[in-house]
């Protein structure tokens, strides 16, 4: 998308595929929430919880569904999906620094590396042997790219990202600071007295349009590759162990932990702090609630949760005691049922 400091509403309507209701010559210089917006800013309405703010918002225009038009005065950009339109608008007004093309003098680039057109390599980057970078790739300061790794067109690595050897990124992959891809999976065999390391012989393959959050780790496979399919979005501080396979357009929220050889389908959501034990499969379109542990395969789409609900500590302790008593209660209930049946 084109980036500039301001847009008229007519321009935004075209760029966001929205219908303009109001003055197309109004100039928009930024984005804001309904409550805090001022003149010159664009806001959006997608959550009914904020309906009361529609009439009082000082935004110069609001992204809104057609059914809410009568609730807000002033200029509107009408769209069936206001939140998606807002996401696209944030890209138009993106103010993050742009790194110019070229190779910084302090970067260490192996002579065998292949660099595409318009590549940007910042200070203190290390690019090892036989690495291939596509066109328009941006490598932030302090990144390390291991031998035989391949980065597709349009990839962006923020500062201090580490790719071990044989990591493959598709097109337009974005990886945030501190992430590590391709470290050894946690594999050991116990010989009776000590743990013997299992060398991790696989690799990591990342599909197109994947985004990976800060300080996330994705381990290489033991024999086969760890694979993240196109369109997957992974939050910060996530651990994905060796040989995991994540399906297209799945969302992995912050602090999720996946043990080895977990397979997750397409369009799934793993809630924050959730996890999965190893060697299980999760079907397409499954949502796992925050802080839940998936301990067995999930064969059907739907929403799944584990754990207990929030309660005052005193009540939680009483409930915990009741959980411990469930087995004996079940046994006594069976005895009562048997005696009732005899009578």
Q: pLDDT tens, position by position, for the chain (343 residues)? A: 445 679 999 999 999 999 999 999 999 999 999 999 999 999 999 988 888 899 899 999 999 999 999 888 899 999 999 999 999 999 999 988 888 999 999 999 999 999 999 999 999 999 999 999 999 999 999 999 999 999 999 999 999 999 999 999 999 999 999 999 999 999 999 999 999 999 999 999 999 999 999 999 999 999 999 999 999 999 999 999 999 999 999 999 999 999 999 999 999 999 999 999 999 999 999 999 999 999 999 999 999 999 878 889 999 899 889 888 988 999 998 888 888 877 6
Q: Model-level pTM?
A: 0.90
CA separation for the pair 52, 237 (Å, rounded): 36
For residue 242, indicate whether it is catalytic: yes
Nearest to 174 by CA among 242, 243, 94, 286: 94
**Catalytic site residue from 176, 242, 249, 279:** 242
**DSSP of 154-221:** T-EE-TT-EE-TTEEE-TT-EE-TT-EEEEPP--EEE-SSSEEE------EEE-TT-EE-TT-EEEPP
* Euclidean distance between CA atoms 241 and 219, whole angstroms: 5
pLDDT at res. 45: 94
CA–CA separation, 173 and 234 (whole Å) = 11
Query: Which architecture, in CATH terms, is 102-304?
Result: 3 Solenoid (2.160)
3-class state of residue 69 by DSSP: helix
The correct answer on CATH 3.40.1390.10 for the domain covering 7-92 is: yes
Contacts of 47 (CB under 8 A, 6+ apart): none
Which among 139, 77, 136 is positioned nearest to 108, based on CA atoms? 139
């Amino acid at each position: 998308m084109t980036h500039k400091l301001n847009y008229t509403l007519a321009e935004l309507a075209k760029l966001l595929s929205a219908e303009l209701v109001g003055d197309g010559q109004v100039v928009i210089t930024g984005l804001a929430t309904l409550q805090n917006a001022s003149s010159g800013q664009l806001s959006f309405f997608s959550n009914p919880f904020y309906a009361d703010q529609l009439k009082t918002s000082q935004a110069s225009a609001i992204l809104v569904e057609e059914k809410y038009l009568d609730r807000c005065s002033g200029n509107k950009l009408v769209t069936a999906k206001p939140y998606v339109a807002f996401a696209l608008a944030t890209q138009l007004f993106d103010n993050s620094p742009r790194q110019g093309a070229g190779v910084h003098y302090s970067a260490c680039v192996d002579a065998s590396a292949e660099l595409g057109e318009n590549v940007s390599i910042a200070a203190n980057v290390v690019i090892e042997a036989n690495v291939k970078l596509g066109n328009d790739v941006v490598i932030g300061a302090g990144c390390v790219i291991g031998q035989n790794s391949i980065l597709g067109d349009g990839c962006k690595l923020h500062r201090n990202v580490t790719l071990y050897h044989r990591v493959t990124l598709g097109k337009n992959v974005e990886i945030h600071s501190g992430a590590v891809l391709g470290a050894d999976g946690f594999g050991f065999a116990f010989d009776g007295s000590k743990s013997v390391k299992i060398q991790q012989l696989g690799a990591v393959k990342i599909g197109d349009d994947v985004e990976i959050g800060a300080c996330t780790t994705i381990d290489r496979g033991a024999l086969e590759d760890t694979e993240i399919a196109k369109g997957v979005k992974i939050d910060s501080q996530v651990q994905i162990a060796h040989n995991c396979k994540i399906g297209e357009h799945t969302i992995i929220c912050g602090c999720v932990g996946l043990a080895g050889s977990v397979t997750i389908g397409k369009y799934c959501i793993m809630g924050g702090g959730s996890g999965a034990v190893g060697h299980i499969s999760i079907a397409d379109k499954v949502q796992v609630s925050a802080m839940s542990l998936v301990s067995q395969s999930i064969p059907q789409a739907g929403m799944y949760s584990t754990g207990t609900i929030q309660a005052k500590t005193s009540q939680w302790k009483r409930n915990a005691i009741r959980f411990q008593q469930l087995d004996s209660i079940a046994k006594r209930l069976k005895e009562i049922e048997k005696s009732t049946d005899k009578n």
